[in-house]
């Protein structure tokens, strides 16, 4: 798989989006017909998932693939969403790269381990990652900047207004509203317990969370979304 970092931009795209940009790669494999894949998701809602604390357990700047563990329900939710024909798109801030704690190679090893644990049927449609730090938010993809979601919408053609984002931090949900999403889900896994009061405060006082049609669901973990599926 190519490294995916793009010159001065501290970002990485894996999956269909990368395939469309690079014309050859989809998770390391040649794409037979990139356009066919692209059209599959046009004008459909997507499920955006934060990575750390939502799909894999938050291990504080994880860089060791041996520490990768799936969060409860992550695999099942991805399988179910894909079965419904919708894209599952991971959007992850990796400021450990800007902080010098690890590099894109380490990120890739962690990603590979996550994909191995998820298995083929639960492979996300695309993964957008950025290695910016908190002081580099200008023009970066770092959440709560909606850049990764907007790029995904451009790459895959998904309908942001009908899409959902699930995160363990307020910044994940802010990313959602900043990109025009109306369905926001907060989980208690990862940093979720610490951030829940911030989410509750945002629901009460941040007008973006009160926009017509906006629904914020507060749940325990992804397993709650898989019940009955
Ligand atoms: Mg997180």
**DSSP H helical ranges for the chain:** 16-22, 34-40, 74-83, 95-98, 104-118, 147-156, 170-178, 192-205, 223-226
pTM over 0.85: yes
In the structure, what pLDDT confidence band is assigned to residue 195 with cuts at 50, 70 and 90? very high
CB under 5 Å of ion ligand 1: residues: 50, 52-53, 168, 190
d(CA 78, CA 49): 9
Q: Is 50 a catalytic residue?
A: yes
Q: Per-residue pLDDT for 8 more than 80?
A: no
Distance (Å) from CA 92 to ligand 1 centroid: 8
Q: What are the boundaries of each domain within the chain?
A: 2-17+37-226
pLDDT at 53 over 90: yes
- Mean pLDDT in the chain? 85
For residue 32, pLDDT over 60 is answered with no
Sign of dihedral through CA atoms 106, 62, 49, 201? negative
| Mean local confidence (pLDDT), 113-127 | 91
CA 24–ligand 1 middle distance (angstroms): 30
Instruction: Report, as an integer, the average pLDDT of 102-111.
Output: 92
> Domain 2-17+37-226 - what CATH class?
alpha beta
Mean pLDDT value across residues 177-189 = 97
Tokens of 3: 């490294």
- Distance in Å, CA 192 to ligand 1 centroid: 8
Let me know: does 64 contact 133? Beta carbons within 8 Å.
no
Lowest average pLDDT, out of 13-22, 117-126, 179-188, 190-199, goes to: 13-22
Which pLDDT score, from 0 to 100, does residue 16 have?
52
- Supply the pLDDT for residue 22: 35
User: CB-based burial of residue 147 (10 Å sphere; 0-12 exposed, 13-18 middle, 19+ buried)?
Assistant: buried
């Amino acid at each position: 798989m190519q490294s995916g970092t793009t010159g001065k931009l501290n970002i990485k795209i894996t999956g269909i989006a990368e395939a469309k940009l690079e014309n050859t790669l989809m998770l390391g494999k040649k794409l037979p017909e990139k356009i066919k894949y692209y059209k599959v998701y046009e004008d459909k809602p997507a499920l955006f998932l934060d990575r750390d604390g939502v799909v894999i357990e938050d291990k504080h700047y994880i860089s060791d693939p041996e520490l990768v563990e799936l969060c409860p329900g992550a695999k099942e939710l991805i399988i179910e969403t894909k079965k419904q024909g919708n894209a599952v798109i991971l959007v992850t801030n990796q400021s450990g790269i800007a902080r010098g704690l690890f590099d894109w190679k380490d990120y890739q090893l962690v990603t590979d381990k996550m994909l191995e644990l998820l298995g083929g049927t639960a492979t996300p449609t695309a993964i957008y990652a950025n290695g910016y730090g908190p002081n580099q938010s200008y023009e970066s993809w770092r959440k709560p900047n909606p850049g990764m979601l907007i790029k995904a919408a451009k790459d895959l053609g998904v309908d942001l207004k009908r899409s959902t984002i699930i995160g363990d931090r307020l910044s994940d949900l802010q990313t959602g509203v900043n990109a025009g999403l109306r369905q926001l889900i907060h989980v208690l896994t990862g940093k979720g317990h610490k951030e829940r009061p911030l989410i509750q405060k945002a629901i009460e006082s941040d007008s973006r969370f009160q926009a017509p049609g906006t629904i914020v669901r507060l749940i325990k973990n992804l397993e709650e979304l898989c019940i009955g599926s």
